[in-house]
Structure 1
Amino acid sequence: MTSTAPSTGPSIEQDLGLVETATTAVLATASRLTDDDVAAASLCEGWTRGHVLTHIARNAEAMVRLTRWAVTGEREEMYPGGTEKRDADIEAGAGRGAAEQLADLRGTASALAEDFPRLGGDLATSEVEMRGGYVVRSASLPFLRLRELVLHHVDLDAGYTLADVEGPVLVRLLDDAVSRLRLSHRAPSLTLRTDEGDTWTVGSGDAEVTGPRHGILLWLARRIPSGVSSAHELPQLPRGA
């Protein structure tokens, strides 16, 4: 198993507030989508918006399971049946209409909102295992849900972009994206400099990439080079990092 987690920062209570805000924003966007909108392509290669919405809902259920594990100490798989079952569930739900998607999002988000505050109390285990064998701090689950909400809201390609994300949240998401990139043995040697004055280094920092925070995060998270530049060709990022 490989252990990874975002850097320490705000309290669980603060992260829960951010999750609530991000959830409200996703639901507002989803409520405006028509059946045709849901069936259209998202920014996730090979996925429609319906796939993205279904994934957000199934992820909420997964976070409930991991929260229960953290609180009770009784192991629960993030996605019972593994990646194959997870992918099948997303595919099965992707073709639903807008109203059914919205109801699913609301119901699963509500259930998670009831369970998530339990992470602020005494925990039976300080770490849980996510899909792919990644071990994370139990207390980091709200941040990881926030990451899912923000990035997949952008993936809906329905008006919300990373430029709409508050600066402190963007910095935390960038920290997380860089940390995950550093775990890859195929990561290029990079220095990332934002227009806002932040700097991150991967490896020996050979190639310099510049741009606004939201542009660099979009490139790291979705390989979309919008607003980022380098003195030479942009380095190739490994898939899955």
Structure 2
Amino acid sequence: MRRDVSATLPWMGAGTEFLVQLVDALPDDALRAPSGLPGWSRAHVVGHVARNAEALARLAHWARTGVETPMYAGPGQRDADIAASAAYPADRLRRELSTTADALDVALAALDDTTWRAQVRSAQGRDIPATEIPWMRVREVWLHAVDLASGAGVADLPPGVVDTLLDDVAAALSAAPDCPSATLAATDRARTWALGPGEAAVQVHGPAASLLGWLTGRSDGGALTALDGDLPTPPRWI
């Protein structure tokens, strides 16, 4: 699937700015406090986003040059890099969050109509066109802004990001063997999303952002209403 980079690149830039502002507003000691992700401090989240920018820049280099440059050198590199980054002083964390994002912007700006179509490989081993790289970053900056647990919520995401994430997440979860069947009806949109196989057993109603928060494990679904049954439990998303 080829993403429209005229949409994803602005979303990426806005998400980076939003995340950096949230991080800059936190006192240094608050970076050591727990995040919204189990077992991770806010410093883990910030370090992960910085290292992710570097990993995606490697994919952009691969697309531009044709030289295979994986996101990570091996299966343990990602986790080791995050753990090391989480121990950095606050000023280094803040600085690297911005400088790595800037470097990714430069790497993506070097792509042209031909190299945007080049095939690279995700960390999960999927062959993807380079147009997928900005969208991968969009997911990181916006959702991890929520994971900082510093006041931002899924409702702060741009509507286009919410809808596109709902497309992706609902499709990914529907492929899981334990995914329940449901129709997700956004009360602030003129559309629905299908979850799970076969005919939907229940309809889940609520704002699109609330549906996304529930599907991605970033809310408990308290703002949602289930018709014709109880609110199902979706499988764990990445």
Relative to the length of structure 2, the TM-score reads 0.90
Correspondences of 1:31-180 after superposition (within 5 Å):
31-82=24-75, 84-123=76-115, 126-180=118-172
Q: Distance in 2 between matches of 1:212 and 1:21?
A: 22
Q: Between 88-97 and 62-71, report the one with greater CA deviation.
A: 88-97
Q: Between 44-53 and 129-138, report the one with greater CA deviation.
A: 129-138
1:189 partnered with 2:181: yes
Q: Distance in 2 between matches of 1:126 and 1:184?
A: 29
Instruction: Report the CA distance shift for 1:224/1:117 in structure 2 as closer, same or farther (over 3 A).
Output: same
1:206 maps to: 201
Q: Which runs of 5+ in 2 are unaligned?
A: none
Kept in 1, the 8 Å contact 2:216–2:237? The answer is no
- Following superposition, the deviation at residue 223 of structure 1 comes to 5.1
Q: Distance in 2 between matches of 1:120 and 1:152?
A: 29
Q: Distance in 1 between matches of 2:9 and 2:74?
A: 28
Q: Distance in 2 between matches of 1:160 and 1:240?
A: 20
Q: Which runs of 5+ in 1 are unaligned?
A: none
Kept in 2, the 8 Å contact 1:69–1:125? The answer is no
- Following superposition, the deviation at residue 183 of structure 1 comes to 2.7
**Which portions of structure 1, spanning 4 or more consecutive aligned residues, are displaced by more than 4 angstroms?**
none
CA RMSD of aligned residues (A): 1.9
- Following superposition, the deviation at residue 124 of structure 1 comes to 8.1
Relative to the length of structure 1, the TM-score reads 0.89
- Following superposition, the deviation at residue 119 of structure 1 comes to 3.3
Return the structure number with greater relative CO, CA threshold 8 A, min gap 6: 1
> CA deviation digits over 1:80-125, x for unaligned, max 9?
122x221011011113332221001011011001011233432286
1:221 to 210, 216, 219: 216
Kept in 2, the 8 Å contact 1:13–1:117? The answer is no
1:233 partnered with 2:230: yes
Kept in 2, the 8 Å contact 1:16–1:116? The answer is no
Q: Distance in 1 between matches of 2:10 and 2:108?
A: 11
Give the counterpart letter for 1:18 in structure 2. Answer: W
